Structure 1
């Protein structure tokens, strides 16, 4: 009996020591962390039991809402509730008042309890800082929707989910955050970083994510992405049945999808006579376009030319390593050549984004472009960078061309068509 008591005491002491080495974020004294809630335009700090961020100024933000409340007991916050509505991006951030060295937890876990109240029309991700200007997110949309209404769920994520080459965990000010899309309400408690590794939720392998075919899995895409894919398959079938197969096919993301909206008039003048097919899907990263190609979107076609431009969402969504994005583009080129062996492929440089030349995400895209220009072989793959035509002489991007500094308006599509025309016409002329 005495021996068993000694063993039990030793195990208890080891458990206490292990937990003493944890970084406890919640529960915590009310002034231990800076808690903010908000969206891309405005944030508000939680200094009492509740706070609501100012609504976005844009017209479409009229019904938008982002707020947070705290469950406070004995002078400490035990749990936080995060609620958002009609927002494409909102966030709850628990920030340190001075940088934290998280390197001791690099081989450990981020653990917390999550109570999902409402998430049928939204999604939620968990975020963690990884150095100056660096934050990484893990999408919890699928499991979190499954937890809705089922009470508290324990979540464990390996710290490796937030690590990349060059990540610096020596001075982190965001040890925990939640990002919401659409509409939802969740509560979070018992947040801590641990040094011990335990089984947890799987997260994508960032080294292969861009080349692994996948449907776009975002709260704002679930309702329309797969139906749009089916619609494009039907559009293709109708063109073939009418005896008017497309002579040119465009593959890409929302910028390519814009040929059906802001660029529609330009498309009607220049590409509709060629029975062009625009396979652009808003939000797509390279892995999403790859899934679409592997599920029939270009099968059975024999276009003279294919125009491919994609990658800006790899940068914008996860600030991806340029080499990883370039690998995704290379995988797409391989897929196109395998399925359309006689088509000439015009690989476009990713368009510039952000107002100024030193914009962080523009810089990532430029590094991608430097890599992918080497994919041109002068026979079937041809590279063209028309970025300079979209920019001002000083390298700035005008809202008169891209109102949101990412997506072209009609003028932007006119510039695109005009700058691309000589090369595209030449390629279509030599196509077999």
Structure 2
């Protein structure tokens, strides 16, 4: 009865001109909460719901559920999940332009458990447009602290040129891995006071930081330390490291699908592959500033970085290129004798009109400005990986992003022509 009376009162409360109460015990009229897993979704219409599994789930062990408590708070429980979300959706699109630049997104958050999970907050901004704030480290620091009031500047979700006149996803709470969090009193204020910091999108690509993903946080720093130890082992054995590869999961793949090609083409040069899955330009920059290239004097450094800036936040190409430039500058400072072979971003997405493919092409169009043809050389192997009609083959890129053994063989052979004279005694 108490919850029924509470709901009836909320149903007639108007949304004031100065604030939008998206959820103060129930969603605002016309809106509902969708609870989503990577492979399905359900509507939180009653007190609790569990996202149903498909007949043949890709992640059989995952579970995502949500419940509404007597106090009106919504709890999201997720385990072994790629992506688990609470999405406020379905209402009349909101014109939030009037809430800029002083507006805030405010809510109470209770992090019950996030030891094996991650957290992000998102806001939709139109077709193919989504803005997010990472909150893994900050979220874990709040675990066990009880209900905390968070207030983010709406500009945390805004980018130059964005149009917030028809926002149909005004808030999403996203978890990854395993965890349990509770959210309540969700409101948009036209003139609020931010109390919680967020990354500045204009400098994010050039601000060094460790990778902030739940699936990487346990291995990322240990791998960094193990790679430094690998270089020290070469040094202790009197082996000269002439060739270094820097990058993300595609570069890390030299140790997996590309093992055979790496052994044939690069092992004689005592090559070191410093690829870290998920890395964006700022994560590679952190590694460079924390000893990744110390203890060696390579003749050539091959760098491929930036596609995760696209995949994670569809970043403005000029900002991604600024991140690539920052890494080039760091390499030049630390290894001035090395020639840098800058790789153009590989094609991704099955077809030429794929959004991320087109975005990477815009980045690639700016890369020639970073190469002088001598100390920094540019190599684009994209044409060798695409079909005549521009589509990608699963034989070379099984998931239309990462290379197969055959794909690594193509990359290695394309590298040979450039590397052979540079690595000559």
The answer for the alignment partner of 2:244 in structure 1 is 249
- Residue 79 of structure 1, aligned match among 64, 73, 78: 73
1:249 deviation in Å? 0.5
- Residue 48 of structure 1, aligned match among 38, 46, 49: 46
Residues in 2 aligned to 1:72 and 1:396: alpha-carbon distance in whole angstroms: 52
| Higher alpha-carbon deviation: 140-149 or 24-33 | 24-33
- Residue 88 of structure 1, aligned match among 82, 88, 92: 82
Normalising to structure 1: TM-score of the pair? Answer: 0.90
The answer for the alignment partner of 1:63 in structure 2 is 61
- Residue 96 of structure 2, aligned match among 99, 102, 113: 102
Residues 1:307 and 2:302 aligned together: yes
Q: Deviations over 1:20-73 (max 9, x none)?
A: 521111023586313212233322222332222233677761210112222378
Residues in 1 aligned to 2:116 and 2:123: alpha-carbon distance in whole angstroms: 24
Residues 1:335 and 2:333 aligned together: no
1:97 deviation in Å? 2.8
Residues 1:25 and 2:22 aligned together: yes
| Higher alpha-carbon deviation: 54-63 or 246-255 | 54-63
Residues in 2 aligned to 1:304 and 1:290: alpha-carbon distance in whole angstroms: 20
SS in structure 1 of the partner of residue 403 of structure 2: coil
Residues in 2 aligned to 1:17 and 1:45: alpha-carbon distance in whole angstroms: 24
The answer for the alignment partner of 1:155 in structure 2 is 150
- Residue 113 of structure 1, aligned match among 78, 98, 108: 108
Q: Deviations over 1:154-192 (max 9, x none)?
A: 110000100111211001110111111110111111001
Indicate conservation of the 8 Å contact 1:96/1:175, yes or no: no
Indicate conservation of the 8 Å contact 1:344/1:428, yes or no: no
Structure 1 alignment gaps of length 5 or more: 1-15
Q: Alignment length, in residue pairs?
A: 411
The answer for the alignment partner of 2:284 in structure 1 is 289
Residues in 2 aligned to 1:201 and 1:254: alpha-carbon distance in whole angstroms: 31
- Residues 246 and 59 (structure 1 numbering): CA distance in 2 closer, same or farther, change over 3 Å? farther
1:90 deviation in Å? 2.1
Residues in 1 aligned to 2:357 and 2:31: alpha-carbon distance in whole angstroms: 33
Residues in 2 aligned to 1:221 and 1:20: alpha-carbon distance in whole angstroms: 43
Indicate conservation of the 8 Å contact 2:38/2:82, yes or no: no
Residues in 2 aligned to 1:234 and 1:153: alpha-carbon distance in whole angstroms: 41
Structure 2 alignment gaps of length 5 or more: 1-12
Q: Deviations over 1:179-210 (max 9, x none)?
A: 11110111111001001131311111111111
- Residue 200 of structure 1, aligned match among 195, 198, 207: 195
| 1:210-249 mapped onto 2 (5 Å cutoff) | 210-249=205-244
Indicate conservation of the 8 Å contact 2:82/2:176, yes or no: yes
Residues in 2 aligned to 1:231 and 1:57: alpha-carbon distance in whole angstroms: 41
Residues in 1 aligned to 2:218 and 2:193: alpha-carbon distance in whole angstroms: 35
The answer for the alignment partner of 2:413 in structure 1 is 418
SS in structure 1 of the partner of residue 151 of structure 2: strand
The answer for the alignment partner of 1:266 in structure 2 is 261
Give RMSD over aligned pairs. 2.0
